[in-house]
Amino acid sequence: MNKIKFLLCFLTILISKICFAQNGIEYRGAFTLKLTVDSLKFYEQDVSYSKYFVKDNVLQIYPGEHLFIEADVVGNEIKSMKVVKENLNPSKTIELEFHQETNDRNHERMILKVSNPFDKELNYDAMMFVVGMSSWMKTSIIPIPPKLMNFELWNDVIITLVLDNWRLK
């Protein structure tokens, strides 16, 4: 009889986890990143299965990724952030898209699009890892006014960005 109770309890917990599964996704799947450097050179790297947030509110994003980041805000402070599959809460979901633009097999620019869903200015800091460099470089970011989006443009071929110190003003 105890085995039956245990099995029923286990199945109930399992079914509730499946039925009430979160919209959140913690890890990106493994993929091969391919970037155009110039008409003759390309950069290629295998990106392993990894977390989007490498630490609390420290996001790593690669070219080709389009993310919805749901943020919990208290006052002017962003308390927590998580990547979600769908934008189910538009009033607290930051949308990011990072990609490379090319023309005739030549690198043109890298573009990061960030939308601010909040009633306050959104700020963050950014570091980039560029093809041909051996260390991270800080880059400037323009604050995003309330309820608007911003486009950051770089001429460098950026392998990945780390965005942190998210804050509202």
Cα–Cα nearest to 142, from 154, 156, 130: 154
3-state class (DSSP) for residue 55 = strand
**Cβ-based neighbours of 77, under 8 Å, separated by 6 or more:** 167, 168
pTM of the model: 0.84
At residue 102, the 3 state secondary structure works out as strand
* Confidence check: pLDDT of 13 > 80: no
83 and 26 in contact (C-beta within 8 Å)?
yes
29-35: average pLDDT: 97
- Tally DSSP H helices, then E strands, for the chain: 1, 14
What is the bridge-based pairing of β-strands 122-130 and 137-139?
antiparallel
Q: Tell me: the pLDDT tens digits for 79-137? A: 999 999 999 999 999 999 999 999 988 999 999 999 999 999 999 999 999 999 999 99
Rounded distance, CA 53 to CA 111, Å? 20
The pLDDT value given to residue 75: 86
Mean pLDDT of the chain: 90
Place of tokens 């006052």: 75
User: Is the confidence at residue 41, as pLDDT, over 60?
Assistant: yes
